[in-house]
Amino acid sequence: MLELTPKTVSERSALRINPCKTCQPVGALYAALGVHKCMPHSHGSQGCVSYHRTLLTRHFKEPAIASSSSFTEGASVFGGGSNLRAAVKNIFDVYDPDIIAVHTTCLSETIGDDLNAYILEMTIPDGKVVVHTNTPSYAGSHVTGYANMLAGFIRYLADPGTEKNGKTAIFPGFVNPGDIRECNRLLGMLNLSVIMFPDQSGVMDAPMTNVYAMYPEGGTTIDEIRALGGCERVLALGHLTCEEPAEELKKKCKIPYTLLPLPIGVAATDAFVMAAAEASENIPKEIEEERGRLLDLMLDANPYFHDKKVAVYGDPDTVIGLTSFALELGMTPRYVITGTPGEAFTRHVNALLEKFGVADCTVKAAADLFELHQWIKNGPVDLLIGTSYGKQIAKAEDIPLVRAGFPILDRYGHSYMPIVGYQGAIRLAEMIAGALMDRQDRDCADEDMEVVM
């Protein structure tokens, strides 16, 4: 496995090998699937959306619907306006969504298609909506695309004139339906009235019923997106994912926002719960008990976490959260990378490392899994935490892997389960301890095999 990867690290400025990111449109597509009765639409060649639907389907093991402008060479030369008009008509005729969320591709961006003008000029059936965002694949990553799509919905729909509704808007970040359910559960325990935007729960984890629904019951409704303009405040989870949409809503509707890390691990979940509750006395005993159970587990299993060297890779906010929790468990991050560009990532991670007094950790944005592998060859770790693409490194170097983040293509059920909140942390702690303890059992001499650990 990966036998051709040399130990010697060489400087690369052009060749990306084994990326730890993908392109903007797939993030935009995922964001749009979190809107009720929405058809995500890719303005480009149909190959893009075929790849994106495939990737999302493989991660969630669920249908991921989306349409395409199906550019051919002609459209690439003369512009994609007529393709988009035809697409919008056909989509409403055949698939009858309430809203079409268009995102661009490197193709339509390179030729400079003006989506604003196209949408302004086209005929849209009464009561139906078409929105768009720009997602050039040659900038940022799928995380950027996710953020851009949210901003696009807000630009088109959030209504500054809407009545004040006293609600808190929650931007949950690029997470699984299981995470959104967990956020909603915590918020329910806090009796908080919220608009979750977007909300892929009930869409990308729809139940098996023997009846396929193209538009499952979940998703943020168009009315809810409009009502974002009347919310009291926004809790935007994920500094590097949700600032852009939060800023957009602030600009358009003057709604203040609080930017928080993804609630992964103790401190980040504490911050989320406290921000959501506003006043400490609002936090119910049940939440405190959940937190207590998490802390109990962390202390009970501490010897197995202590000083274990770990490499964390994936999307920026997820990686920041996982690193934070690894530190809370007493582990030692050695390599922390994301493929998404942006130095804010390294600042956030370095601040965490400093807080826990961990030196000698390589932190890098716009990194790839090839260099991570090379670093590991030079300074090994005890555990990998990240996406499925790390399994090659795990096999090559014989390191246990705990899967968390996006994409996870080789497991079932993971997207139902949270990694956020105290419950999510309990799950992570159990997975991490299990992986490390299995490894100890596998590697130890027979006489050292412990039945009780």
Asked if 197 contacts 230 with a C-beta cutoff of 8 angstroms, the reply is no
Least Å distance, CB 10 to other proteins, is: 6
Cβ-based nearer residue to other proteins, 52 or 334? 52
- The pair of three-digit structure tokens given for residue 100, joined into one six-digit string: 């079409």
Interaction pattern, residues 364-393, with other proteins; x per rule: CB under 8 A: ------x------------------x--x-
Least Å distance, CB 60 to other proteins, is 8
Q: Output the CA–CA distances (angstroms, integers) from residue 444 to 150, 331, 381, 394, 439, in the order listed.
A: 50, 21, 18, 19, 8
Q: From the list 12, 251, 306, 411, which residue makes contact with other proteins (rule: CB under 8 A)?
A: 12
Q: By rule CB under 8 A, what count of residues binds other proteins?
A: 83
Identify the residue among 6, 127, 357, 413 touching other proteins (CB under 8 A).
Answer: 6
Binding residues for other proteins restricted to 198-217, rule: CB under 8 A: 206, 208-214
Residue 166's contacts (CB-CB under 8 Å, 6 or more residues apart) are: 193, 232
CB of 99 to other proteins, least distance (A): 14
Helix (H, G, I), strand (E, B) or coil at 285: helix
Name the H helices within 278-387.
285-300, 302-305, 316-328, 344-355, 369-378
Q: At what angle do helices 177-189 and 421-443 cross, to 10 degrees?
A: 130
Q: Scanning residues 40 to 99, which ones bind other proteins (CB under 8 A)? A: 41, 44-48, 50-55, 57-58, 61-76, 83-84, 86-91, 93-95
ω into 177 cis (within 30 of 0): no
- Cβ proximity of 415 and 174 under 8 Å: no
DSSP β-bridge partners for residue 244: none
Restricted to residues 394-423, the positions that interact with other proteins (CB under 8 A) are: 409
Q: Which of 110, 162, 350, 440 binds other proteins (CB under 8 A)?
A: 110
Q: Cis link prior to 284 (omega < 30° from 0)?
A: no
Q: Contact region for other proteins (CB under 8 A) — 3-11, 278-286, 356-364, 419-427?
A: 3-11
Footprint (CB under 8 A) of other proteins, residues 136-195: 136-139, 141
Question: Is 434 one of the binding residues for other proteins (CB under 8 A)?
Answer: no
Site string for other proteins, 267-306 (x = CB under 8 A): ----------------------------------------
Q: Nearer Cβ to other proteins, position 23 or 319?
A: 23
SS3 call for 261:
coil
Residue whose pair of structure tokens reads 């119910």 in the numeric block:
284
Contact window for other proteins (CB under 8 A) among 6-14, 161-169, 234-242, 270-278:
6-14
Query: Residue 234 and residue 228: Cα distance in Å, rounded?
Result: 9
The distance of closest approach from Cβ of residue 267 to other proteins in the complex, given in angstroms and rounded to an integer, is: 32
DSSP 231-251: -SEEEEE-HHHHHHHHHHHHH
